[in-house]
Structure 1
Amino acid sequence: MAEGTVDHASVLHDLKEVRRAGMVRLRDVRLPALSAAASAALAREGESGSGTSAGAVEWLLRLAVDRLGGGNLQEAAEYTLGMAPGTRDWPGADRRRRAAGVYGVSVERFRKHQEGMVLGQIAEQIGRLTAEAPPTGNLVDTHRVLTAAAGDRSVPVTLHVHPVDLLRGVDAIVVPSNTHFALPEAYKSSVSASLRRAAASWSLTGELLADPVHEELRDWAARKGTSGRPVVPGTVAATGSGALAERGIRRLYHAAVAVPRSGTNDYDVLPADVTRAVAGALALLAEESPRFDPPLRSVCLPLLGSGRGGLSYQESVEAVWAAVDAELSRGADPALHLIVRHPEPARLLLRTLARD
């Protein structure tokens, strides 16, 4: 395999081996095409390796799957390879059955049709990852303070590059939600699922003892008279943070930006709704702040709508920052944090927002 290129057929062959073995057995499977592709992609990231060959391959696979853009395709890919939370050691038959359920088809039909499409799309993303030009800078920091232009001034912004459930010491987090404020199951990998899981209380054997965020959202809907009905996109509902309070997180602002598409597992997200929701969350922070001791001041924003909502990272950045810019122009002064999980959107934020 030439440097910077991958043979699609060879990568697809290796992906089928991973599908059979699952992530837990990567070390036991010979994956020459994926190993070479991972080395090429790491070289373009400015790194020489990722600990082990299996580790480098897993890094590449997760990066490729994350670039599928959400929706059924990404969810089926995560189940197919054993990347969905809790599926790492599942047998191949169980993973295939769950992936078939994503598309609402039989296991046999999925095997003959959708599975090949899913693996093919992962192979396409791997090809693009190894063919892209190397980034202008190597971002390895999990926390970085940048100076961004907002309104008529420059403001400090802390950029976090890690899963949202590792966040500490930020007063409020804006949580992407659908217009029904229906939380995903806690085992999912989305921002809202991760925070639901982290806010809950669990026994030593993994039994759910309390699910406060789910219960508070249900109570909020009952008080507002919206139980069983969607709210207007851009609506924000505030809840407590449950067990996250032990990490210094005091409020969760649930932003209804995703409109479920009837008859599917997909959503529609409009940038204008993202902007309206972020503005509402910042206004809610200012309104609630005096009720707390010490007052609320810091807020963390993910790139709303850039997962299953289908917005590109660029669209989400622009929609989020439009609200920040407007609120700061009106005199708001929150301590701003932005959070992404991977280096690619982090670099975009640095290019778009950072000012010398």
Structure 2
Amino acid sequence: LVSSENTYLEMSKTFRSTVSGALRRAAAVRDAAGEVVDDVLSRELRVWQRTHGRAGLPVRPGTVVATSSGALAAQGVRRIHHAAIATPQGDGDHYHVTPAVLPEAVRASFELARRERDFLSLPMSSICFPLLGAGSGGLPAETAARVLLGAVEEELRRDPAWSVLLVTLKESRARLLMAASSAP
């Protein structure tokens, strides 16, 4: 699964209706009472930042970092790829995403997945992308769909062994993705 993140690799709050927030909630380990005892994805991203000298610092837009899938492993999810595509603006509640960063993030996601499959022997054969940049990133959904699909098609030409799933919670965006994927 690919999650859209900001360039500080800070995941969305668990109560927000974002892909990042939903993945953070779903991957968290909970006790018998349902309380979160390990915010797995956020913790693993902080470890990555410290290990790579990026604690409190932004990464280059398009950077992709892998974490485990936490509690989602029970549902067959092997890895979460965090694509740093959104640059915080002003007060930090607004983000900027340029269309050019999406192909970089898609390419980096595929490269990372190939390395995990080939060198870590993880049995990976599919990648799931949300409509990167079309939420808090502010890209028009049509632009995000066109650029995302073009980048995915390019990667599948390089390595056709992958299955790609595109996911969105909004019916209008699902129709948009279906129309864009069937366009000549």
TM over 0.5: yes
Higher strand share goes to which structure?
2
Q: Which of 239, 251, 256 is 2:79 aligned to?
A: 251
Measured after TM superposition, the shift of residue 264 of structure 1 is 4.3
CA deviations over 1:78-129 (Å, ceiling 9, x no partner): xxxxxxxxxxxxxxxxxxxxxxxxxxxxxxxxxxxxxxxxxxxxxxxxxxxx
Structure 2 distance, partners of 1:355, 1:183, is 33
Matched, 1:292 2:157: no
TM-score, scaled relative to structure 1: 0.50
Aligned to 2:69: 241
Q: CA deviation at 1:328?
A: 2.0
Q: Cα deviation per residue 1:150-178 (whole Å; 9 max; x = unaligned)?
A: xxxxxxxxxxxxxxxxxxxxxxx010000
Secondary structure of the 1:250 match is coil
Q: 2:99 aligns with which of 265, 271, 284?
A: 271
Structure 1 CA distance for aligned equivalents of residues 158 and 114 of structure 2: 12
Amino acid across the alignment from 2:171? P
Is 1:196 aligned with 2:32?
no
What's the CA shift for 1:188? 1.4
State the distance in 2 between where 1:328 and 1:207 align: 40
Give the distance between the partners of 2:80 and 2:149, measured in 1 at CA.
19
**Which structure has the higher relative contact order (CA within 8 Å, separation 6+)?**
2
1:211 maps to 2:39 = yes
Q: 1: distance between equivalents of 2:33 and 2:81? A: 30
Alignment of 1:174-185 (within 5 A): 174-185=2-13
| Secondary structure class of the residue paired with 1:196 | helix
RMSD of Structure 2 on Structure 1 (CA): 1.5
The amino acid that maps onto 2:129 is L
Paired AA for residue 272 in structure 1 = A
**Bigger Rg over Cα:** 1
Q: 1:180 to 1:348 in 2, by over 3 A?
A: same
CA distance in 2, matches of 1:289, 1:331: 13
Letter in 2 for 1:220: W
Residue 48 of structure 2: which of 213, 220, 230 is its match? 220
Q: TM-score, normalised by structure 2?
A: 0.94
| Aligned counterpart, 2:131 | 303
Taking the aligned partners of 1:236 and 1:305, their CA distance within structure 2 comes to: 14
* Counterpart Cα distance in 1 of 2:106 and 2:10: 19
CA distance in 1, matches of 2:38, 2:179: 42
State whether structure 2 residue 138 is matched by structure 1 residue 321: no
Q: Which runs of 4+ in 1 moved over 3 A?
A: none
Q: Which runs of 5+ in 2 are unaligned?
A: none
Tell me the CA shift for residue 286 of structure 1.
1.0
Aligned-partner Cα distance in 2 for 1:263–1:349: 32
How many residue pairs align between the two structures? Answer: 183
Structure richer in helix, relative to its length: 1
